[in-house]
Amino acid sequence: MITNGFTYIAVLVFIAALLVWLQRYTKSKFFDYAPPIVLLYLITMILCTLGAWDMEATKPAYSVLKNNLLYAMIFLMLLRCDIRKIIKLGPKMLGGFFAASVSISVAFIATFAIMKGPLGSEAWKALGALCGSWMGGSGNMVAVQAALDIGEADMAYALVVDSIDYSIWVMFLLWAINLAPKFNKWVKADTTTLDEVSRRLEEDAKSNEDKATFVNLIFLLGLALVISAFGQDIGAALNGAMPFLDKATWTVLLITLSGLIGAVTPVGRMAGSTELSNLLLYSVVALLASRASFLELTDAPAWILAGFMILAIHGIILVLLAKIFHLDMFTCGVASLANIGGSASAPILAGAYSGALVPVGVLMALMGYVIGTAGGLITANIMSLLA
């Protein structure tokens, strides 16, 4: 069992490196069905389940690196972004986001109606808090918990579901990227604007990049880490002065603003941001998966089942809405994760499609934070009528 924090990080990065190397040099068709980023998530979860590392001993290393690397990754990916092109996705982005939000609310209500026997008639409170989290992030969960005066014992069930079910949903959405062309064809989604925006952003990035030199790489890495560090410090200060947004949301706003400003300066035309952001993407995915154990499936099985039922109903409704309104896979997937995962996951999924589209994930996640508390409370009140 690994107890050393550095060894824990080294193993995670090596697994990511090995999977990317195998795809590149074996050219196996297997990776068409199981991309390295999905295998990384799955393998890391399995190792966590087998107890490959001590969770408490390695927690400091995880806590220090996860958010720091995540914010640095978002900044680097945003350097390839021209917000003027992203704005063209506005109407479809909004439609996809609210389709995901409504389907999540309906899924919670339907699941409580079906599972209130095993869960208990008072489970609507904890489910309401979980709904707040799955409409924008943990900050909303805390707000709903306070509003409904939910005890810590009841919240423990919601936290278990928020951990294990969410982790598996992230892995599923990453895997589903390969199905995007077939899905888009089936729902008759018009991806012309999305493809054009993505193509132009990628072309802009390629035209600006010649060769990733040592000078470029060390400058961009140093800049990204400094932006991440000071962004979190300023975000914490802003949260103290203006607590209507939590620290994470203030930080994401600052990092996003920094990236968008950097994109229109000579820094945005420096080679190396693509390579560095991909390196950080795989590192963050490995860190996230390393704290999710399949053994948690045995904790409160009725609640775990309820969580999967919510995700299944949400997914089915979202697919039906996609079919009716011709929404593409990218919009549906990122909208879903912007609600369920918030700013920690939506940019990661968007970046897995295309690094140039990370701002879509950031913007959707921010919308989720805005509506999450209200959405959770409204859903909870509807569930209370069924109790």
Residue 133: its pLDDT value, please?
81
Residue 146 clears pLDDT 70, i.e. is over it: no
Name, in order, each residue with C-beta under 8 angstroms of 23's C-beta and a sequence gap of 6 or more: 31, 35, 36
Rounded CA separation 37/347 (Å): 14
DSSP-assigned letters across all residues of 210-254: S---HHHHHHHHHHHHHHHHHHHHHHHHHHHH-TTS-HHHHHHHH
pLDDT band per the 50, 70, 90 thresholds, residue 346: confident
Q: Which of 224-228, 311-315, 329-333 has the lowest mean pLDDT?
A: 329-333
Report the length, in residues, of the chain: 387
The DSSP secondary-structure symbol of 53 reads B
Q: At what angle do helices 152-175 and 123-133 cross, to 10 degrees?
A: 40
Rounded CA separation 240/242 (Å): 6
47 and 328 Cβ atoms separated by less than 8 Å: no
Q: What is the pTM of this model?
A: 0.71
Structural domains counted in the chain: 1
- Cα–Cα separations (whole angstroms), residue 54 to 185, 287, 299: 46, 14, 19
Rounded CA separation 43/38 (Å): 9
Residue type at position 321? L
Range of the domain at 348: 5-386
Q: How many alpha carbons fall within 13 Å on the CB side of residue 344? A: 22
Query: Which pLDDT tens digit goes with each residue over 203-255?
Result: 665 655 567 788 889 999 999 999 999 999 998 898 888 876 667 778 877 88
Rounded CA separation 339/372 (Å): 8
Q: By percentage, how much of the chain surpasses pLDDT 90?
A: 22
Angle at 318 (CA atoms; ends 199, 82), nearest 5 degrees: 25
Bridge partners (DSSP) of residue 2 are 53
Residue 81: its pLDDT value, please?
66
Rounded CA separation 9/287 (Å): 8
